[in-house]
Amino acid sequence: MYKIIGADQKEYGPVNADQIRYWIGEGRLNAQSRIRSEGELDWKTLGEFPEFTEALGAAPDAPPPLVQIAPAAATVVGNREAALRAVKGPAIALAVTAVLGVAAEIAFMILMYVNHDFIFRIIEQNPDPHVRQLLRNAWTTSPGPIRFFEFAWHIAVEVGILLGAIRMLSLRSYQLAFAASVLAMLPCVTSSCCCVLGLPFGIWALVVLNRPEVKSHFT
């Protein structure tokens, strides 16, 4: 199997030797076309491959200087600039959501550990006595380490969402970008702030990521 450089200077393939010979016969490839065997690192000219000598000898005398690849052989759909524009909106939305989520978690953690009276004043403002009692019990009986672990977990997830959004902006790490979009939609793993905004933004990101003209440009 081989890979070639097309007229747009992008890499295509892998394709087999018969396909290469077919393109030579059509005048789409010539002895100066850049090609390499799959698994090799160095690019060579097509004329350096002895298995194509006979096909090159039977090719037209004046083939075009650049490779023109048939559409069926291309593995990249659309252009990279359009893909970058498509992911920009959902990626920024996820990044902003994650930052807000981290800020909300940190602020709440500070309130919880520094100002207990403030929290209890908020609880006492609830008009329903049963709700007040439930909130008091939840606040006073839940162990501190468990609460701290919950905060740390939410912050870690939101940092992961932020990293995935940053990668999405540059069309890198498709798996991380996809995972970040899914995590943003799950209410059980994110803060309330991230959950409210994450659901619509996560759906938006997944729709964009699943477009062939976007997915094919990720590295």
Domains belonging to the chain, first-starting first, are 2-73 (3.30.1490), 80-215 (no CATH)
| pLDDT value of position 50 | 86
Please choose, from the candidates 149, 162, 139, 148, the residue with its C-alpha nearest in 3D space to the C-alpha of residue 110: 148
C-alpha distances in Å from residue 202, one per residue of 96, 144, 172, 181, 219: 12, 32, 17, 4, 21
* Phi/psi at 5 (5° precision): -105, 125
Q: What angle do CA 23, 29, 32 make, to 5 degrees?
A: 155
Q: Which run of H or of E encompasses 146?
A: helix 144-169
Each residue's pLDDT, cut to its tens digit, for the chain (219 residues) gives 888 876 667 777 788 888 888 888 887 888 888 888 887 888 888 888 888 888 887 655 444 444 455 444 445 556 888 989 999 999 999 999 888 888 887 877 776 666 556 666 776 777 777 877 776 665 554 445 666 777 788 888 889 999 999 999 999 999 999 999 988 888 665 555 556 777 888 899 999 999 988 988 898
